[in-house]
Structure 1
Amino acid sequence: MSDQLARILDAKREEVTVRSARTPLADLRRLAEAMPKPRSLASALLPGRFSHAEPASPPVRLIAEIKRASPSKGPLRPDLNPAAYAKAYARGGAAALSVLTDGPFFCGSLDDLKAARDAVTLPVLRKDFTVSEYQIYEARAAGADAILLIVRAVTEAFLRDALALCEALSLDALTEVHDERELEAALRCGARIVGVNNRDLTTFQTFLETSLRLRAHIPEDRIMVAESGIRSRSDIERLAAAGIFNFLVGESLVRASNPENAVRHLIQPFSGEAVKNADNQRA
């Protein structure tokens, strides 16, 4: 685990302690269990698998991210309006949203998530560092449709329990892995949506080869999402040629002068040759 990740997780545990003192777990659980049924992230991503049934439709499904900053890049869009970006992403054709809710390191909040979700009908992922069941109930009480679980950040026992709790609350979980060992743990624990993070958490460099390498080890009955380092249409086409059709993209969209057009550009239909290559990979 990198020093940066360790610092974030330590801060997150302290944050959970403070928040749970303000709103006890029992109260939060009641709020979460009283929420309407979430929107399905899994259903939004399943069409991302290439199908001859819809040859004119873009096989790409994009989780478009809303974030103001990151520890590695600093401020990205400090004045970001979550509702406006959510609407722009939806108009551009995004399948779902990801909203950073960490405050100290990403300048986000649960209010950002609420504002984004209220603005659109897309499923919304709470992207944060989940280290406690408290945060899972908190996410559902705030209206999140899915949460992020990072294999490297938790024990396997916690991951298994967290996935079970998500199922009980009808929440989807994007379970994030960085290598083969973490992927094996995610699959053992029953992860249905597997996010492959292309970012090396030690150097913070990104390598699309990580997704390309792990793709072959993810069963067909699971949903794969490629994360980090996806900046251009050529990146999308390279990964799609390997049978990867679901993507989480943040920085390039947040920095774009026109986020709606940026989304539309990434998910545009493939050319005949690109479709043929993707089909060959899926055969």
Structure 2
Amino acid sequence: MFGGSLDDITKARAAASAASVEVMSEDGVVAPPILASDLLLYPYQLYKLSLAGADAVSLVVGALPKKDLTYLIKIAASLKIQTLASVTSEVQLQALAELPKGAIAAVVVSNRELEDYSVDMTGDQALNLLRSSAMEKVREVHDIPVFAEGGVGAIERPPGSDENSPGSYLEELKHAGASGCIVGRGLVKDGMDSSEIVQLLQKQTVSGSRSSS
């Protein structure tokens, strides 16, 4: 994986479960789902992720021929793993619009470049995808959330930099139709031990459950 391992997923599953158990009595929450991010090209990778404790995977649409994308989605479903489809272009969004309803659990619009996985720190790539006609077609077929990822916690744009959506970058994403964002190192820092991760998850779980009540 991108700097991680299967063992990280197992540890994340244990930490998430431990955090939820400690707050379950007062908030009635369940363990947060574990999303595994990797360049997934073969079915055996999905089997390994399932055994490690992953609840969902992110498939990079631009790295997979249509038949392979469809096949991996079916394998994931058989393992009771939800599929998020990560896109970096409108062509990839058009491919998602051709999938049957219910095939994917969410769309992820990414600020990353497919060739070298570098991040567009202007944030324009994700915004343009959210506002595209191709995204409208995807929404017509799939009634699912759309997330943004790729530097979303680090991108800084001055208020009013976009005349269509004044405010911070996160506000622009929300205004453009994003349901939420996916962050990694922007939230969990290198060197954190398991107890620190448990405390972090407790904080996020409690605040999230209270804000939604």
TM normalised by structure 2 equals: 0.66
- Which of residues 169, 180, 184 is equivalent to 1:246? 180
Amino acid at match of 2:144: R
Query: Residue 73 of structure 2: SS of its match in structure 1?
Result: helix
Match of 2:127 in 1: 212
Cα displacement (A) at 1:187:
2.8
Q: In the alignment, which residue of structure 2 is the partner of 1:235? A: 169
Identity over the aligned pairs, expressed in percent? 32
Match of residue 196 from structure 1: 109
1:117 corresponds to which letter in structure 2?
R
Q: 1:222 to 1:142 in 2, by over 3 A?
A: same
Structure 1 residues 129-183: Cα deviation after superposition (integer angstroms, max 9, x where no partner):
1110111111112211011211121111010011112222221011111010011
Q: Does the 8 Å CA contact 1:177/1:186 hold for their aligned counterparts?
A: no
Give the match's secondary structure for 1:164: helix
Alignment of 1:88-237 (within 5 A): 102=1, 106-120=2-16, 121-189=31-99, 190-202=103-115, 204-206=118-120, 207-216=122-131, 217=135, 218-219=138-139, 221-231=143-153, 234-237=168-171
Q: Which runs of 5+ in 2 are unaligned?
A: 17-30, 157-167, 209-213
Residue 21 of structure 2 aligns with which residue? none
Q: Deviations over 1:216-254 (max 9, x none)?
A: 414061221101121259321221122212110123224
Offset of 1:255 from its aligned partner?
4.6
> Equivalent residue of 1:251, what SS?
coil
- Matched residues, number: 161
RMSD: 2.8
CA distance in 2, matches of 1:109, 1:251: 15
CA–CA separation in structure 1 for the residues paired with 2:186 and 2:48: 29
Give me the whole-angstrom Cα distance separating, in 2, the residues matched to 1:139 and 1:111.
Answer: 10
1:117 and 1:149 map into 2 onto residues whose CA distance is 20
Distance across 1 between alignment mates of 2:174 and 2:33: 23
What SS does structure 1 have at the residue aligned with 2:107? strand
Which digits, 9 at most, give the CA deviation of each residue in 1:56-110, with x for residues without a partner? xxxxxxxxxxxxxxxxxxxxxxxxxxxxxxxxxxxxxxxxxxxxxx2xxx33111
* Alignment TM-score, normalising by the size of structure 1: 0.51
Unaligned runs of 5+ in 1: 1-101, 269-283
Is the CA contact (8 Å cut-off) linking 2:146 and 2:177 kept in structure 1?
A: no
